[in-house]
Amino acid sequence: MEKYDIVIIGGGPAGLAAAVSARESGIGSVLVLERDKELGGILNQCIHNGFGLHTFREELTGPEYAGRFIEKAEELGIACKLDTMVLEISPGKIVTAVNREDGLFELQAKAVILAMGCRERARGALNIPGFRPAGIYSAGTAQKLVNMEGFLPGREAVILGSGDIGLIMARRMTLEGATVKAVAELMPYSGGLKRNIVQCLEDFGIPLKLSHTVIDIKGKERLEGVTLAEVDGRGKPVPGTEEYYPCDTLLLSVGLIPENEISGKMGVELNPVTAGPKVNESFETNIKGVFACGNVLHVHDLVDFVSEEAAAAGKNAAAYVKRESAEDTAEKDVWDAAGREVPVKPGEGVKYTVPERINAAHMGEKLTLRFRVDGVYRDCYVSVWFDGERVIRRKRQAVAPGEMEGILLDRELLLRYPGLDAIRVAIEPG
Amino acid sequence: MEIKKLICINCPMGCPLTVEMEESKVIRVSGNTCKRGEDYARREVTAPARTVATTVKVVNGKAGRVSVKTREDIPKEKVLACVKALKDVQMEAPVCIGDLVAADIAGTGVDVVATGNVGEL
């Protein structure tokens, strides 16, 4: 069986940044396993610009952003296997994978970094009544057809869901000559960036119908039209508000789900809110030496944050391998004995946090605690509580569920509370 | 006096901006919370500009299309003309990130460059 220090599952932005960082931290034996025929992941089909403002201080398109990391990985001579599907990982870190060249094979890893990304929620999860005609696509599938294959999925479209992919596809379909009749959003606010609402919808006069959903699908072989209706505060359609839109295409942009089948099967504990692994300050899961980063951990809106998080995961995995492989176990013993993990709990207005356990003795000087809020709040404060004491209070003019938030924690601050039982993050009114 | 209403795109606040204009000159911007909002409003009502990203056909390549973008923003009203002008443009593989796809697209003075790599077949 071939042996590697670090095996990374997935060659998208998270996998690439983790690989580069692990290599730069002095680990030579790194392997990236990617199921697609090229590296870069979903960035390759995100041809619009707006990526990289944090990382490179310039606006890049998705393929350009991926290109920077692919180039770096090549320079560093990082090994990759493309067209390779990972089937299983054992708790002992034996990775079982398959491809056309090697057939079915196993690898022994000292550390594993999970970077499989996420997939789109499909129609089946929405329970929209009606037949199952052709012409209903997830927004990402349509994006791949238009941007990579050069096919336009239809001429007249309605889009359900106003997340960024839905908005971006409204513009893309319009530029390619299709008519986008409406974007319907179940919630009273859009989950997409303001910039995309203005530049993808308003620029082309596409109506955004908030608090609306698709209640019926017409057409047996090919989609003929959809019925939209307004919904009440509990998401139930309001009778009398139905409107019929003839169309041949319905795009669904209704959420992303981290792909954790392999993680779950190997015994990685998952957070039911994020559907991603529960990790500590080192991005390590409950299984020692198994790390997670990027959209498989929690769905991001900015790839820059994915790269940042993955670089940390790669660095920590490298440190783990060095500690575990050293003949002299002194460093490992000190590490294992140092400090203890304190749980981080989502308080009022906060849906989840990543990480959800912090051992101050194992963290760097600073750590960004990332989280999402459960609604739109204006003129509020993000507060961090150490047990009954509020230790951080930062003003925010506005927070929304569509934009991931973060707050910086200092190791020094944490070390001053040795008896700490729990850390809580909450949104408090101004 | 003409009044234009915009939503600021700079942050999640999404401030509702009101721009008062006289003979296509901005008199006053209100509704913004910060300076960025005012700058955005002034630009957006006098000279709105956008980066255009699309794809063009590739011949003899490992992929049939390559992604491209305008190197800089172009005037908003030229966006559709730009996409139209690129409809019949064809690149010969190999194509690399940064390769010139079309110069001075739709009379904007801005070049269109490749944003992806496509190897030879």
Domain presence at residue B94 = yes
pLDDT, tens digit only, all 121 positions of chain B: 889 999 888 876 778 899 999 988 899 999 998 899 999 999 999 999 999 999 999 999 999 999 999 999 999 999 999 999 999 999 999 999 999 999 999 999 999 999 999 999 8
- A146/A27 same-domain check: no
Residues of B in contact with A47 (CB under 8 A): 53-55, 67, 69, 115-116
- CATH classification at residue A109: 3.50.50.60
Residues A350 and A331 in one domain: no
Please give the pLDDT value at position A191: 81
**Chain A residues with CB-CB distance to B7 below 8 A:** 194, 197-198, 202
CB contact under 8 A, B64 and A149: yes
If DSSP codes are grouped into helix, strand and coil, which group holds residue A72? helix
Cβ separation of A61 and B67 shorter than 8 Å?
yes
pTM of the model: 0.93
d(CA A354, CA A146): 34
Which range marks the domain in which residue A269 is found?
1-119+255-337
Q: Which residues of A touch B13 (CB under 8 A)?
A: 378, 397-398
How many domains does one find in chain A?
3
pLDDT reading at A127 higher than 80 = yes
- What residues of A are in contact with residue B43 (Cβ under 8 Å)? none
Predicted local distance difference test score (pLDDT) of residue A288 = 97
Q: Are residues A126 and A194 in the same domain?
A: yes
DSSP one-letter code for A202: G
Tell whether A205 lies on the interface with B, counting CB pairs under 8 A: no
The distance of B83 to chain A (nearest Cα, Å) reads: 7
- Based on the fold, state whether residues A275 and A330 are members of the same structural domain: yes
Residue A400 forms contact with B (CB below 8 Å): yes
Indicate the residue type of B110: V
Question: Would the CB atoms of B12 and A67 count as touching at under 8 Å?
Answer: no
Which letter does DSSP use for residue A200 in this model? Answer: I
Note whether A61 and A95 are same-domain residues: yes
| Domain count of the fold of chain B | 2
Same domain, A148 and A89: no
Average pLDDT, rounded, for chain A = 95
Q: What's the 3-state SS for A118-163?
A: EEECCHHHCCCCCCCCECEEEHHHHHHHHHHHCCCCCCEEEEECCC
Q: What is the mean pLDDT of residues A200-221?
A: 96
* A chain contacts of residue B76, beta-carbon cutoff 8 Å: 203
pLDDT in tens, A129-178: 888 999 999 999 999 999 999 999 999 999 999 989 999 999 999 999 99
Do B109 and B59 lie in one domain? The reply is yes
- Boundaries of domain holding B33: 2-46
- Torsion sign (Cα): A312, A313, A317, A318: negative
Distances (CA, A) of A291 to A69, A264, A301, A364: 20, 13, 21, 16
Cβ–Cβ < 8 Å for A295, A301: no
Q: Tokens standing for A429?
A: 């009114």
Cβ atoms within 10 Å of A425's Cβ, excluding its own = 25
Does residue B110 lie within any of the structural domains? yes
- Could you tell me if A107 and A3 lie in one domain? yes
Give the residue from A307, A337, A367 where a domain finishes: A337
Best B67, B70, B118 residue to mutate vs chain A (most A CBs within 10 Å): B67
Q: Between β-strands A212-218 and A225-230, what pairing exists: parallel, antiparallel or unpaired?
A: antiparallel
State whether residue A36 sits within 8 Å of chain B by CB.
no
Determine contact, residues A202/A226, Cβ cutoff 8 Å. Answer: no
For A115, A148, A334, A388, A411, the CA distances from A339, given in Å and listed in that order, are 28, 50, 10, 21, 12
ipTM: 0.90
pLDDT at B90 (0 to 100): 96
Compute the distance between CA of residue A300 and CA of residue B77 in angstroms, rounded to an integer.
32
